[in-house]
Structure 1
Amino acid sequence: MSLRITQNSMNRTQLAGLNTSLNRLQQTQEQLTTGKRLNRPSDDPVGTVSALRFRSEQSQLAQFGANITDGLSRLQASDDALSQTSNMTQRIRTQALAALNGTGSQTQMKAYAAEIREMRAGLLQQANSQYAGQPLFGGTTPKDNAFDPATGAFQGNNLPVLRQITDSPGDAGQINVGVNGQAAFGNALVKGTGDLDKLAAAIEAGDSAGINAGLAAVDKLQDDILNVQATVGTRVGRLVSLEALNGRQDDASRIALSKVEDTDFLKAAMDLSIQSNAYQAALSASAKIIQPSLMDFIR
Structure 2
Amino acid sequence: MRIGFNTRFRSILADLNRLSSEINLTQLKISSGKNFLRPSDDPSSVVISLNYKQGIFNIEKYQRAIEDGLSILRSQEATLGNIQDLIARAKVLAIQAANNTQNAQSRQAIANEIEGIISAILSLTNSQLGEKYIFAGKKTSGYTPGEKPFELVKETLPDGQIIEKVVYNGSIEDLEVGYDENLSINLGENGQKIFIDSGLFETLLGLKRTLQANNTVDYKKEQYNIQEFIGKLDNVYNYISAKRGEIGSKISHLETKKNLYQDFKETLQTNLGNVESADLAELATKLQSLTIAYDAALRATVMVSDLSLAKYL
TM-score grouping bracket, smaller chain normalisation: 0.7 to 0.9
Q: Deviations over 1:228-279 (max 9, x none)?
A: 1111111111111111111112111111111112222232233223322332
Q: What TM-score results when the alignment is normalised by the length of structure 1? A: 0.88
Q: Distance in 1 between matches of 2:250 and 2:210?
A: 39
Give the structure 1 partner of residue 239 of structure 2.
Answer: 224
Give the structure 2 partner of residue 83 of structure 1.
Answer: 81
What is the SS of the residue equivalent to 1:104? coil
Query: Are 2:175 and 2:190, in contact at CA under 8 Å, matched by a contact in 1?
Result: no
Give the structure 2 partner of residue 297 of structure 1.
Answer: none
Give the letter aligned to residue 195 of structure 2: F
Given the alignment, which residue of 226, 241, 249 partners 1:234?
249
Is structure 2 residue 287 aligned with structure 1 residue 272?
yes
The alignment's C-alpha RMSD in Å is 2.0
Residue 32 of structure 1, CA deviation: 1.7
What is the SS of the residue equivalent to 2:177? strand
The runs of 5 or more residues in structure 1 that have no matched partner are: 295-299
Query: Are 1:78 and 1:136, in contact at CA under 8 Å, matched by a contact in 2?
Result: yes
Q: Bigger CA drift: 214-223 or 98-107?
A: 98-107
Give the structure 2 partner of residue 183 of structure 1.
Answer: 193
Give the structure 2 partner of residue 152 of structure 1.
Answer: 166
Query: Are 1:136 and 1:146, in contact at CA under 8 Å, matched by a contact in 2?
Result: no
The runs of 5 or more residues in structure 2 that have no matched partner are: 154-164
Is structure 2 residue 205 aligned with structure 1 residue 197?
yes
Q: What TM-score results when the alignment is normalised by the length of structure 2? A: 0.84
Is structure 2 residue 44 aligned with structure 1 residue 46?
yes
Residue 160 of structure 1, CA deviation: 2.4
Instruction: Name the structure where strand makes up a greater proportion of residues.
Output: 2
Fraction of identical pairs, as percent:
26
Q: How many residues align?
A: 285
Query: Are 1:128 and 1:146, in contact at CA under 8 Å, matched by a contact in 2?
Result: yes
Q: Bigger CA drift: 111-120 or 201-210?
A: 201-210
Residues 155-170 of structure 1: matches in 2 within 5 Å?
155-167=169-181, 169=182
Is structure 2 residue 297 aligned with structure 1 residue 282?
yes
Give the letter aligned to residue 185 of structure 2: I
What is the SS of the residue equivalent to 1:87? helix
Residue 284 of structure 1, CA deviation: 2.4
Give the structure 2 partner of residue 5 of structure 1.
Answer: 3
What is the SS of the residue equivalent to 1:158? coil
Query: Are 1:146 and 1:154, in contact at CA under 8 Å, matched by a contact in 2?
Result: yes
Q: Deviations over 1:175-204 (max 9, x none)?
A: 1224322222226455xxx21121123234
Query: Are 1:99 and 1:109, in contact at CA under 8 Å, matched by a contact in 2?
Result: yes
Q: Distance in 2 between matches of 1:293 and 1:130?
A: 91
Given the alignment, which residue of 111, 117, 127 partners 1:119?
117
Given the alignment, which residue of 69, 72, 94 partners 1:96?
94
Give the letter aligned to residue 85 of structure 1: I
